[in-house]
Amino acid sequence: MKITRIQLHEVRLPLVHSFQTSSHRKSSLDHILVELTDDAGRTGWGEIASPADPFYCPETTDTAWLISEHYLVTRALDADWTTPAELETSWAKIRGHEFTKAGFVGAAWDLWAKAEGVSLASALGGTRHEVRAGVSLGIEPTVDALLAQVEKQLAAGYHRIKLKIAPGWDLEPVHAVRSAHPDIDLHVDANGAYTSDDQTIDYLLSLDAAHLTMIEQPFAPRDFVGHSRLQQRLQTPVCLDESVVSLDDLQTMIALDAGRVLNIKVSRMGGLTVAKAAHDLATEHGIPVWCGGMHEFGVGRAANVAISSLPGFTLPSDVSGSDKYYARDVIMPPVVAHDGTVTVPSTPGIGHEIDVEWVAENRLRHLDTDLAESAQH
Ligand code: OSB
Ligand code: MG
């Protein structure tokens, strides 16, 4: 295949409910949509879902734009490829920048699946026709406000509730939600906000009493040894997110028993090809996986739905309906959850049309290789 034209669309959408983690607060998001056109006139779409600031990962929207424009666009235009994995070899020497690469990889998979006339889910080896979704709830101003959010999402039928925690917002909200809802699938995510000293590990052991499905990323990304020390003493499975950006990291997690659940975030791992390989490796080792989200717009969300249809994704994924995030999404139709379950599209590619008018209306920056430099504003 040959890519003849590339467009980058940096788009800002407001969130319907602002979201706070241990590291940052957001009320709108700026993501870059990657549009690849091939010599047959087909288009493939991918999403660079890096946050605007370097608090979750080292990348930002600006670094993603820079790396795309200076390194990925020319390589993608020059490549002659038959599979997305082959296209990726053209930028294999670029270190890091997983979110940026993931946007191009997603667009290549969409394009390739369309050329083959198959859905993205079946191109990836998906077997499920529907996937169960969970929701991730940010740090709220009060425990009551959090309990109200939990009620609302349970009423919508979501299968799992994940609570963001941080020092000062942990045991109290967790025990309040658990006593109000003794039987729900509940888990917590600290986004690396704790240090792995003995005193903190002792403190985190008290979370076992809440019967959580997992404790996600309590410590810093590189602290595999700390996560392993916690896991040896904790009954609740530790789940790694930020720590695992490559298959090598997953090997380290397995070798050290630093986690017993894996959050496969497509963007964090550099795209769908590596995400699929991570699924295969984790499944081989009996590690259950689920797909984490980055509040993706519909393009990235549709890719998350597709990968979640693989058999090892046995835990609910962060693939809630578009309406939880955006009043109007960039895809038509939006992703819809019925009773917390999302149907996997069977039409070619990501299975949704792009709302190009809405993209243009909310666009902050545009690059079009057909128009060269003049297109940037
Ligand atoms: O750790 O999963 C995370 C959002 C921004 C940064 C980090 C995380 C998140 C989420 C989003 O939890 C969940 C979603 O997209 O539904
Ligand atoms: Mg996480």
Tell me if 166 sits within 8 A of 142, measured CB to CB.
Answer: no
Q: Which of 47, 48, 51 is nearest to 21 (CA)?
A: 51
Are 226 and 131 in a shared domain?
yes
Are 97 and 193 in a shared domain?
no
Reported as a single tens digit per residue, the pLDDT across 296-331 is 999 999 999 999 999 999 999 999 999 989 999 999
Cα 68–Cα 362–Cα 42 angle in degrees, nearest 5: 55
Tell me if 200 sits within 8 A of 194, measured CB to CB.
Answer: yes
Select from 162, 318, 323 the residue to mutate for testing ligand 1; criterion: most ligand atoms less than 8 Å from CB: 318
Are 24 and 154 in a shared domain?
no
179 class by beta-carbon count within 10 Å (0-12 exposed, 13-18 middle, 19+ buried) = exposed
C-alpha–C-alpha distance, residues 181 and 144, integer Å? 14
Q: Which atom of ligand 1 is nearest to the CA of 319?
A: 16
Our answer on whether the CB atom of 369 is closer than 6 Å to any ligand 1 atom is: no
196 class by beta-carbon count within 10 Å (0-12 exposed, 13-18 middle, 19+ buried) = middle
Are 82 and 131 in a shared domain?
no
Give the pLDDT score at 373. Answer: 56
Provide the residue range defining the domain that includes 309: 123-353
C-alpha–C-alpha distance, residues 68 and 33, integer Å? 11
Tell me if 58 sits within 8 A of 110, measured CB to CB.
Answer: no
Which regions of the chain are under pLDDT 50? Answer: 374-377
Tell me if 137 sits within 8 A of 150, measured CB to CB.
Answer: yes
Give the pLDDT score at 19. Answer: 87
Are 77 and 182 in a shared domain?
no
Are 205 and 323 in a shared domain?
yes
| Region of residue 6 (phi > 0: left; psi between -120 and 50: alpha; otherwise: beta) | beta
Q: Which of 236, 185, 244, 241 is nearest to 217 (CA)?
A: 241
Our answer on whether the CB atom of 243 is closer than 6 Å to any ligand 1 atom is: no
C-alpha–C-alpha distance, residues 54 and 97, integer Å? 12
Residues forming beta bridges with residue 30, ordered by sequence position? 12
Backbone angles phi, psi at 66, to 5 degrees: -60, -50
154 class by beta-carbon count within 10 Å (0-12 exposed, 13-18 middle, 19+ buried) = middle
Our answer on whether the CB atom of 241 is closer than 6 Å to any ligand 1 atom is: yes
Are 21 and 52 in a shared domain?
yes
Are 362 and 298 in a shared domain?
no
Output the domain CATH number for residue 173.
3.20.20.120
What does the buried/exposed string (b/e) look like for 324-349 if buried means 16 or more CB atoms within 10 Å of the residue's CB?
Answer: bbbeebbbeebbebeebbbebbeebb
Are 180 and 46 in a shared domain?
no
C-alpha–C-alpha distance, residues 36 and 108, integer Å? 7
The number of distinct structural domains making up the chain is: 2
Our answer on whether the CB atom of 254 is closer than 6 Å to any ligand 1 atom is: no
Count of CB atoms situated within 10 Å of the CB of 96: 15
Residue 152 makes CB contacts below 8 A (sequence gap 6+) with none
Output the domain CATH number for residue 31.
3.30.390.10
Residue 1 CA to ligand 2 centre (angstroms): 36
Tell me if 84 sits within 8 A of 108, measured CB to CB.
Answer: yes
Count of CB atoms situated within 10 Å of the CB of 95: 6
Are 172 and 234 in a shared domain?
yes
Are 214 and 362 in a shared domain?
no
Are 360 and 348 in a shared domain?
no
Our answer on whether the CB atom of 293 is closer than 6 Å to any ligand 1 atom is: yes
DSSP string, 271-332: SHHHHHHHHHHHHHTT--EEE------HHHHHHHHHHTTSTT--S-BS---GGGT-SS-SEE
Select from 295, 305, 320, 342 the residue to mutate for testing ligand 1; criterion: most ligand atoms less than 8 Å from CB: 295
Q: Is 164 a catalytic residue?
A: yes
Tell me if 10 sits within 8 A of 65, measured CB to CB.
Answer: yes
Q: Which of 17, 8, 44, 48 is nearest to 30 (CA)?
A: 48
| DSSP E strand boundaries for the chain | 3-20, 25-38, 43-48, 130-132, 135-137, 161-164, 186-189, 215-216, 238-240, 261-264, 289-291, 331-332, 337-338, 341-343, 353-354, 363-368
